[in-house]
Amino acid sequence: MLEWTFLGTGAGTPSRTRNVSSLALRLPQRSEWWLFDCGEGTQHQLLRMPHLRLSQLTRIFVTHLHGDHFYGLPGLLASRGLALGGASEVTIHGPDGLGRWLNSTLRLTGNRPAYPIVNDVVAPGWSLTELGFTVDVCQTDHRTESYAYRIREADNPGAFDIQKAKADGLPPGRLFGQLKAGEIVTLPDGRVVNGADYVGETKRGRMTVYSGDTRPSDAVIALATGADLLIHEATFHASEQVQAEKSAHSTSREAAEVALSAGVKELIITHFSSRYDPEPADVGIEMLLQDAQSVFPNTRLASDFQRFSIERPTA
């Protein structure tokens, strides 16, 4: 199961119903998970999500150095080394300066986690391949150096048709392995056999893009083209267009326009201003969803503690 869990879906400051930005990616058939952004209070949110054990957290990806996206790191890392467990290495990926800030904070507070913490600087062109996934970035249009992350699963080769191979009189053993790999093999009797004739259709890997904070961006559209899921910020309603431009954020309608341009299958909007939380309100959170769906119907609204699974495409 490839599953996203939203731990914080608010922008700037926490509200009564939403914490600040953080979301977790649970990897299929593995006892580990990755964290994307870590706003203040993320470790408290995790206490309500027993399927996400801190001891199994291996990588943290930070989009940019605004506090609502990374101030939760020191507390979370400290807790991981205490009663909540965790002795394995954690790698933190993020913009230049994140590692220096974190190391200074841990040193000045006397916090010495008993496990290795590796700091990795993200920059344009950065890429990571790990556990059958490739993570790529693009720089977004925000007030500071900021990145969107694309998480792309490797394609799954089609199943090898053993019965067909046996029916054609092909000898098992090493030959089957070559054919399963798609190789063209010449048999001792002179026959030339193409492995593609014995392997089913390749199953395309799943792909998600997480925008971080950004104005609508051609770079994000390019990164998300053809994605199964785009998780895009939608800080403001369309009626707050001027404020969105001033603060370098997106409206819900603009997020939907990005999804439409990228040809993604599904859009989840997140990172909402706390002005939309009080009920009743002149503009409520559901109005952001309606605004987005008027452009891109297959849009969902993220809420804290919601879990979304992505099924592997059938073709």
How many other C-beta atoms can be found within 10 angstroms of the C-beta atom of residue 114? 9
Answer left, alpha or beta for residue 182, where phi above 0 means left and psi between -120 and 50 means alpha.
Answer: left
Q: Which of 37, 68, 213, 304 is labelled catalytic?
A: 68
| Torsion angle of the four alpha carbons 259, 131, 204, 262, in this order, in degrees rounded to the nearest 10 | 10
Instruction: Based on the residue annotation, tell me whether 189 is a catalytic residue of this protein.
Output: no
Between the alpha carbon of residue 266 and those of residues 258, 259, 292, 299, the distances in Å are 11, 8, 12, 6
Answer left, alpha or beta for residue 257, where phi above 0 means left and psi between -120 and 50 means alpha.
Answer: alpha
Q: Return d(Cα 292, Cα 269) in angstroms, integer.
A: 9
Tokens encoding 169: 């009189």
Say which residue the tokens 């492995």 belong to.
195
**What is the set of active-site residues?**
68
